[in-house]
Copies of this chain bind each other. A is one copy, B any other.
Amino acid sequence: MSKEITSRSEDYSQWYIDIVKKAGLADNSAVRGCMVIKPHGFAIWENMKAQLDKMFKETGHVNAYFPLFIPKSFLSKEAEHVEGFAKECAVITHHRLMNDPNGNGVVVDPSAKLEEELIVRPTSETIIWHTYKDWINSYRDLPLLINQWANVVRWEMRTRLFLRTAEFLWQEGHTAHATKNEAVEEARLMQKIYAQFAEEYMAMPVIQGRKTANERFAGAEDTYTIEALMQDGKALQAGTSHFLGQNFAKAFDVKFLNQNNKEELVWATSWGVSTRLVGGLIMTHSDDQGLVIPPKLAPLQVVIVPIPKPNAEIDEAVEKIMRELKAKGVSVKYDTDKKKRPGFKFAEYELIGVPVRLGIGKRDLANGVVEVARRDTKEKSSQSLEGIADYILQLLDDIQKNLFQRAVDYRTEHTTSVDNFDDFKSVLDSKGGFVSAHWDGTTETELKIKELTKATIRCIPNDGVPEDGKCILTGKPSKERVLFAKAY
């Protein structure tokens, strides 16, 4: 089965598509650019969602739900927002179908034209800030810390399963604050939470930084980002958190009475991660045999395969192992299907990324052992049945850490400091990855570099140190390095 997967070295893009489709994660649909998220892919997203939701709630956020549709006029209210966003979107113009007078199914009823067109939300700042006007009157109503889990639509021309789709699932936090400081702190806190989630749960190391003016969210005063590196040396923007200043409060006239009874405009943030994370997870860890999922997010953590098939003796031993594992909160399945041979099952579980596989045969039992295979390194070993549950618990933890370390090592090897444009181009053309370089701080230079190399500034790292240098393109003075990469 693994033979059907194109190898990464042969064609990385095709490898990605093969993994997504053959591991049962997602598929294209009848609607251009929209995907079907299949049960295995959705289970990973559900695990991500559950953990993120917990982290949001622990930091004081609550969930709510706002309308799918946005009146067209709302989009024009925040000038930069509409410039950056609102153009490619799904526009609803009518609210009724009717039988085709010629008998060919249904047609749009021309008499059911909407007075004002509705847009399927590409993001919800406008409809939410319109609502916040009713909810916020006094400093006592602040802060407002709200998150929404929702589907959004952006009419992307070139789509790729999970990474860029016309419809995608995400969460969008929208908070309102009495002071600038508090809003900036909130935006930074959410960046930190995203980074923690990416590293501890997805085992995907990320660089935390700020976006340049050119790469900022439309309508934001500052965009904080987490940037990951995929196995082909391209960067993936994995989550962003925006300090929106008072831009949306101005656009929607949202003011509050402060403690001195004076009217002030409200300060805002928004932040989001999406099903794109599933794409990031796939590309960070998987190999030519299939999907690799970090144990903390794996829908199924352990599978037990009887060799060559189930029998009373094996069943009994497995029953005991499963009971112990379940008691420790580990998800486990016993594959008793007699129609498939063990070798076929092994390949199948490798393909869908189950972190640990146990094989148990009659001879193993006689020797009091079981064969344990780990998905990340594909190492197999014989382990004593005595204390096997504890061993597996430790192994799952090892795999989680190993995946993270492997990704960190890859990133370290693929992060290069350069000091001139020739080196810059040559690194991008050869090994790719992040390139740390000086830049003169202008959008003009940034765009010129993008035009020449396709590399963009991924971020100005939070942990950057002041350093005098010269812009790799213009030679103008620079005070700190920024991180370039080609990106998804």
Which A residues form the contact surface with B (CB < 8 A)?
27, 29-31, 34-39, 42-43, 46, 62-76, 82, 86-98, 104-106, 108-109, 117-120, 127, 130-131, 134, 146, 150-151, 153, 155, 167, 169
Contact = CB atoms under 8 A, between A and B. Distances in A.
Contacts of A105: 72-73, 75-76, 82
Closest 6 CB pairs of A and B: A76-B105, A34-B67, A37-B65, A39-B62, A91-B94, A95-B155
A39 B64 contact: yes
A90 B108 CA distance: 10
With a 10 A CB-CB cut-off, give which of A27, A42, A65, A120 has the most chain B CB atoms. Answer: A65
Contact of A96 (B35, B38, B88): B88
A131 B69 CA distance: 26
B153 A68 contact: yes
Contacts of A31: 67, 69-71, 118, 127
24 contacts: A27-B131, A29-B67, A30-B71, A30-B127, A37-B65, A39-B64, A43-B62, A68-B151, A68-B167, A72-B105, A72-B108, A75-B105, A75-B106, A86-B97, A87-B98, A87-B109, A89-B96, A90-B92, A90-B95, A91-B96, A91-B97, A92-B120, A93-B94, A96-B155
A75 B97 CA distance: 10
A127 B27 CA distance: 13
Contacts of A46: 63
Given A64-B39, A69-B34, A106-B72, A89 B95 contact: yes
Contact of A72 (B62, B96, B97, B153): B97
A117 B105 CA distance: 13
Contacts of A108: 72, 91, 93, 117
A22 to B, nearest CB: 14
Given A31-B71, A131-B36, A64 B42 contact: yes
A82 B96 CA distance: 12
A34 B124 CA distance: 14
A488 B438 CA distance: 66
Contacts of A82: 105-106
Given A36-B64, A39-B63, A93-B94, 20 more contacts: A27-B131, A30-B67, A30-B71, A31-B69, A31-B118, A34-B67, A35-B67, A43-B62, A65-B169, A68-B153, A76-B104, A86-B97, A87-B97, A88-B95, A89-B97, A91-B96, A91-B108, A92-B120, A93-B108, A120-B120
